[in-house]
Amino acid sequence: MKMSIQSNFHLLRTQVYEHLREELKKQNLKPGMFVTINQLSQQLGINRTPLRDALLQLQVEGFVTFLPQRGIQINELSENDLEDIYEVLGALDSRALLSVFKKITKDHIAQMKQINEDMYKTNTIDEYNRYFELNTDFHNVYLELSHNKLLLDQLSILRQRLFDFGAKGDWMEKVRELNYQEHFRLIDLIEQGNAKAVADFIRDTHCCINWK
């Protein structure tokens, strides 16, 4: 999987990082897998320094862990990990929505309704990545009204980490149905003009996992 690379060091590091993120998304780098810098360096055809920098950034974001004498492990997400991520996701998402609520227009609401329909039409087993891309698009309709880059970056990282949990089958079908109904509820609360109710719903209901 050699990369097409540029000579500028900062650009190279960014390219390596984006490439590794894409490999995680495609699950070519699977949760639980061990890799080494030497192994990846040979596969990508690049030197170790930008690769190590990219991997260190992925470790800060929670995607991988450097383990002495063992290499680098692609992180797996336990049920507790997922619950923690969703709790933080709900807190940040609801805070962002409160800050931009007055900017949401009828056009934004129409976009959210259409994306929700598109989500429901996907096959969540065969189109897993597409489904979650649409889910991100749904929330980004209002999140992109915010100018808080730090908050938006954290939300983006949290949502992308959830791709590591490649749950499919019956649980994913349940998520699709649940999201479809909850998105309708979220839209309805926005249309009612009740900002606090929408924020509470995102934080306390929409970003909570029911494993049963």
120, 148: one domain: yes
The predicted structure's pLDDT at residue 127: 79
70, 115: one domain: no
The predicted structure's pLDDT at residue 118: 95
Helix spans in the chain (H): 9-25, 37-44, 48-60, 79-100, 106-121, 128-143, 149-161, 169-191, 195-201
pTM strictly above 0.85: no
Instruction: Quote the number of domains for the chain.
Output: 2
46, 140: one domain: no
Who has greater pLDDT, 171 or 68?
A: 68
CATH number at residue 99: 1.20.120.530
Q: Residue 26 is part of which domain span?
A: 9-74
98, 144: one domain: yes
65, 108: one domain: no
The predicted structure's pLDDT at residue 150: 95
Domain contains 211:
no
The predicted structure's pLDDT at residue 59: 93
**What would the pLDDT profile of 39-71 be if each residue is shown by its tens digit?**
998 888 888 888 999 999 999 988 999 998 889
172, 148: one domain: yes
* Axis crossing angle, helix 106-121 with helix 169-191, rounded to the nearest 10: 160
Domain contains 4:
no
Which long-range contacts does 131-136 make (Cβ < 8 Å, 24+ apart)?
Answer: 131/176, 132/159, 132/162, 132/163, 135/159, 135/179
Q: What is the mean pLDDT of the chain?
A: 87
CATH number at residue 25: 1.10.10.10
Based on its alpha-carbon atoms, the radius of gyration of the chain, rounded to whole angstroms, reads 19
126, 146: one domain: yes
